[in-house]
Amino acid sequence: MSPEVLPTTTPEPGSGQARRVQLRTVDDTRAWGVRLGASLRAGDLLVLGGGLGAGKTTLTQGIAQGLQVRGPITSPTFVIARVHPSLAGGPDLVHVDAYRLDGLAELDDLDLDTSLETAVTVVEWGHGVAEQLSEDYLELTLSGHDTRTVNLVGHGLRWNAVDAAVVLDNLVSLP
């Protein structure tokens, strides 16, 4: 009998270990987003994955609160991106919904590059698109019903530096 070949768990080069956190309620998701948002800095790129209703916008609402930017954060149904200015002298939040986005060219057309360095950019449905904007991004994938599980993978030097690893470890271990 030959041994079963298991899928490799070795991260891609430049990618860190996968971490996960369970968020039981909407309030938990928002509260965790607040903590995440408070630990972000200018230039950070977050790519949110998961199906419709997975909690990406809910999480972004928490992130916005933690960043102290002007709301409200809504599902950008008719616009692809919205800029939420900082109310605290920190980075603005660029909230992108890539659902209807036709690839990187269109995302480029939004002139997001100009704000990438000074803002925090959160892209819903960004897998396969937003990653091309930067080697450094935090990938968050939401799944589950009611209790949501968030899988986090940090890519690039920003998210694999020692200070970021401490932040991410705290985010997934503290209640």
The residues that touch Mg ion, with contacts defined as CB under 5 A, are 56-57, 75, 124
Question: What are φ and ψ of residue 110, in 5° steps?
Answer: -75, -5
| Residue 72 CA: distances (Å) to CA of 65, 82, 85, 122, 162 | 10, 10, 11, 15, 33
CB closer to Mg ion, 96 vs 164: 96
**Minimum distance between the CB of residue 63 and Mg ion, rounded to whole angstroms?**
13
- Residues near ligand ADP (CB under 6 A) are 23-26, 28-29, 50, 52-58, 75, 124, 146-148
How far, in Å, CA of 92 to CA of 106, rounded?
21
How far, in Å, CA of 141 to CA of 124, rounded?
10
How far, in Å, CA of 123 to CA of 106, rounded?
13
Q: What DSSP designation does 90 have?
A: S
**Minimum distance between the CB of residue 171 and ligand ADP, rounded to whole angstroms?**
16
149 binds, among ligand ADP, Mg ion, none (CB under 5 to 8 A by kind): none
**Minimum distance between the CB of residue 148 and ligand ADP, rounded to whole angstroms?**
4
**Minimum distance between the CB of residue 55 and Mg ion, rounded to whole angstroms?**
8
CB closer to Mg ion, 67 vs 164: 67
CB closer to ligand ADP, 58 vs 134: 58
